[in-house]
Amino acid sequence: MIIPILRLGKILLTSIQQELTDADVLQLQSDLLRKVSEIEALGVIIDITALEVVDSFMARVINDTAGMARLLGAEIVICGVQPYVAMSLVEMGRDLIGADCVFNLDQGLKLLEARIAVRGDAILSLEGDEYARNDRP
């Protein structure tokens, strides 16, 4: 199954809408890392709002992907963790320690924009099409 990866300036966004097989999870990891490298992404948001279950394999792959993306210069934010998903991850002894978690996409974008601004990297403005330096006055 192909999971779409959308580009929003130097931020990539993917939304997982249904349960994935282990092969699908690994393919998403590969696709995300390739895209991060291709566009020199500064951030990645993975929306899991629609998921009722995140198994230990998916949690491990998300953690690994976050570490790999960080080595490529990008941060990963997970949004939409449902309460029952959080409970099951804790019960399994798993944590999404490689990525920050926020409630929704809006918070994810704000968190990444703030992190990118602190780094002083250039991103494609979310309001327009021109490149903007985040460290401008």
Question: What tens digit of pLDDT does each residue of 36-66 get?
Answer: 999 999 999 999 999 999 998 999 999 899 9
Mean pLDDT on 84-93: 86
- For range 93-99, the mean pLDDT: 74
Residue 137 pLDDT class (50, 70, 90 cuts): very low
Residue with tokens 């918070």: 107
| Domain boundaries along the sequence of the chain | 5-133
Give rounded-to-5 percent helix, strand, coil for the chain. Answer: 40, 20, 35
Q: What is the model's pTM? A: 0.84
We find that the CATH architecture of domain 5-133 is 2-Layer Sandwich (3.30)
